[in-house]
Amino acid sequence: MSSVVSLAELIERGGVYYNIGGASPVEVLNEATKAMILPKGLDRENLLTAILEREALMPTALGHGVAIPHPRNSMLTDQAAQRVAVFFLKSPVAYNALDRKPVNVLFLILSADARSHLATLASVSHLCQHPDFLEFLAKRPSKEELVARIAAAEASWAQAAAD
C-alpha cells in the first residue's frame, strides 16, 4: 500500500522555478518541462506530450491565477520519484480558467499512483481556496518560504483531523 507524501515534501523534491516564459499554455508548459529536474527515466518530450494531452481534455486552471498541469496517467512507478514543481510565470497567461483570470503560477504534479495524485490535487486545491495563500503566492516566495508555509498548513490540517 502506498503512503501519501506531503505536498511540502513533493515541492522540496520538485523545486520552485521563476520567470518561466511563454504566451500560451503550450509555450509555458514547454518551458516549464525544459526547466524542471526530472526523475531518472522520465523523458521530457513524453512528459510534455502527456501534459498537453491532459490539457486538451480539460484545462487544469483552478482559478485565482493557478493551474495544476499533470499527465492523465501516471508516468512514474517509484514513489520516491514523485514530485511537484512550482513555476512562477514571467507574464500571466490566458489558460481557459473558469474564472477567466490568467494563470501566473503552475503546480506541475508527477505522481506514482492515483491515491497520491488525488491527495496532492486536493492539497493544492485546498490551499488555493484561501486568499492569504494566494497573496503569499503573488509575492513569488522562495522555495524555502513556500515549503515552510505549506508544511505549516499541513501540520494544522493534521492537528485539526486529530482533534
Name the residue ranges covered by the structural domains of the chain: 7-162
CA distance to 15, 27, 76, 83, per residue, from 18 (Å): 10, 15, 25, 17
Contact status, residue 81 vs residue 111, Cβ threshold 8 Å: no
CATH topology of domain 7-162: Mannitol-specific EII; Chain A (3.40.930)
Catalytic residues: 70
Q: Identify the pLDDT of residue 3.
A: 60
Spatial CA neighbour of 83 closest among 163, 156, 12: 12
Q: What is the pLDDT of residues 23-38, one digit of tens each?
A: 999 999 999 999 999 9
pLDDT < 70 regions, the chain: 1-3
CA distance to 17, 95, 105, 115, 149, per residue, from 141 (Å): 10, 22, 11, 28, 10
Cα atoms found within 13 Å of the Cα of residue 49, Cβ hemisphere only: 6
Alpha carbons 114 and 120: distance in angstroms, whole number: 10
Three-state DSSP at 113 gives coil
Q: Is the pTM of this model over 0.85?
A: yes
| 72 residue type, one letter | R
Q: Identify the pLDDT of residue 1.
A: 38
Name the CA dihedral angle for 142, 14, 69, 5, rounded to a multiple of 10 degrees.
-110
